[in-house]
Amino acid sequence: MMGTAQAAAPEMTAEEMDRASNIYFQRCAGCHGTLRKGATGPGLLPEDTIEMGQRRLESIITLGTEGGMNNFDGILDPEEITLISKYIQQTPEEPPEMSLADIRDTWEIVVPQDQWPDEPQHDRNWENFMVTILRDRGAMGIIDGDTKEVVTEAETGYAVHVAKSSSDGRFWYVQGRDGRLSKIDLWMDPPQVTAEVFIGIDARDVAVSKYGEWKDKYVIGGGYWPPHFVIADAETMEPLKVVSTRGYNTKGEYVHEARVAALYDTPHAPTFLVNVKETGQVWQVDYSDIDNLRMDQIASAEYLHDGFFDSTGRYFMIAANFSHKMAFIDTVERKLVSLLNTGEIPHPGPGANWIDPECGPVAGTTHLGEGLVTFWGTDPENNPDHAWEICGTVETDGPGLFLRSHPDSPHVWIDQSMHPEADVNQWIMVMDKETRELTPIHVADRPAEHDAVALHMEYDQSGTEVWVSIWARGRGHQDDGAIVIYDDKTMEEIGRVENLNTPTGKFNVYNRKAKYKRS
């Protein structure tokens, strides 16, 4: 009996393919993969998407899903939604590779070292600067935390995912999704990029060496494509070494698109943590001799995403999204100590550590797939019965990306930004550490056409203010974003920074350079 022939993909012109490819890179590749084989989100290969059909694909992209995909109506216009729906029914093409020579060709010194200032050129309290991602603007907003003024917008790569500082907080390294790795000097007036290099054509994270004699010597950038990491000189940004992350997952299956999800420097050893998304491996890479790299490949679970350290800086905790687990790595022993089932698709972002009255030191995560905060014990020495076990869960109104706390705060702040409805994603929850009771706060308060969500909380230098982003994503309204500032104790609004283009993550200089003492 003859089988039914598969329907053909919709026809597209070369111009339409180019436009759709750009949309896919900007909005879809992070979750669904450069080659559309899936990761946090499902695969989008033609054998599946053609069968789903144009109408259903457009509906999903327009409305989003309860399982963690946001709605794109307002972000993309109807023509673009139609275009991307056609695009994901085509056979994907593999982008080019990049050699060390290719990477070196992109290296640029913007401000030579002999022109760097010996002291701050301004009288601002730069340790209370908020280094803020202006996602679609392709810039980092440097905001004075004392005066609430935007000092400058430093041009960087597109859609920066995260920023990491030098040990003293003066220099900031930012990795754009377009592969552009930039170095910003906060002492300059105004702060500006001093050097840059493209470590790939799609990238996410960066880390700086901070241990012992190698302090501030190396910077590492991780590629989504090509799947590799690049170690560069942290002063000049000259690329020194490139290492592929292709390999085998925890089941022994070869992974061609083995992307670097996240990068961290370890406080107790001269090592970087390279989290290889699709393989479920955490590579602990010893940078004490980059010509003879020692790499401990620690198997955990797929697919690795964001992570953070416990309050001591010894234990690294990372979300394995696809497996619905948190993985716990002892960076001193360089081994996996435990895996923990949480809720649907954990996503802690920069995470939060706090003291629970029942379990002692704990850490927690939000989830992309459900409105839930899960927290677990992190003190195997003094509280072994609770270590790496769930201490408690708290239900929120919807899935979120981030949670944040501070040692001096009675609260944990939680966003709900992944819910598709404005009456949920424009609100955040504040949890009392002692009682675990939630207080809702309406942050965004924007009309529907702004498609605005409230997300990513950060404390100021004093630990008394909490800054929350309003990310206005709607077409024509990207400049209507803002940051709302709250008194942590009273949860009352005390200030705003308005007219920001798509503000998302923000990083307080003082708190981030002291991150192993603060949560």
Catalytically active residues are 28, 31-32, 69, 305, 347
Strand residues in 124-199 grouped as ranges (E): 129-134, 139-144, 150-155, 163-165, 171-175, 180-185, 192-198
Residue 321 · residue 341 · CB < 8 Å: no
CA distance 32 to 21: 13
Q: Of how many residues is the chain composed?
A: 519
Among 337, 383, 330, residue whose Cα is nearest residue 356: 383
CA distance 109 to 197: 9
Rg (CA), the chain: 22
DSSP string, 77-100: -HHHHHHHHHHTTSPP-PPPP--H
CA distance 195 to 96: 24
Q: Directed axis angle between helix 14-27 and helix 78-87, to 10°?
A: 100
CA distance 373 to 416: 11
- List b or e across 422-447, with b for residues whose CB sees 16 or more CB atoms inside 10 angstroms: bebbbbbbbbebeebebeebebbebe
CA distance 298 to 250: 10
Among 337, 260, 331, 333, residue whose Cα is nearest residue 300: 337
CA distance 480 to 361: 39
CA distance 185 to 131: 11
Half-sphere exposure of 220 (CA within 13 A, CB side): 28
Q: What is the DSSP letter of 185?
A: E
The widest CA-to-CA distance across the chain, in whole angstroms, is 81
Residue 270 · residue 209 · CB < 8 Å: yes
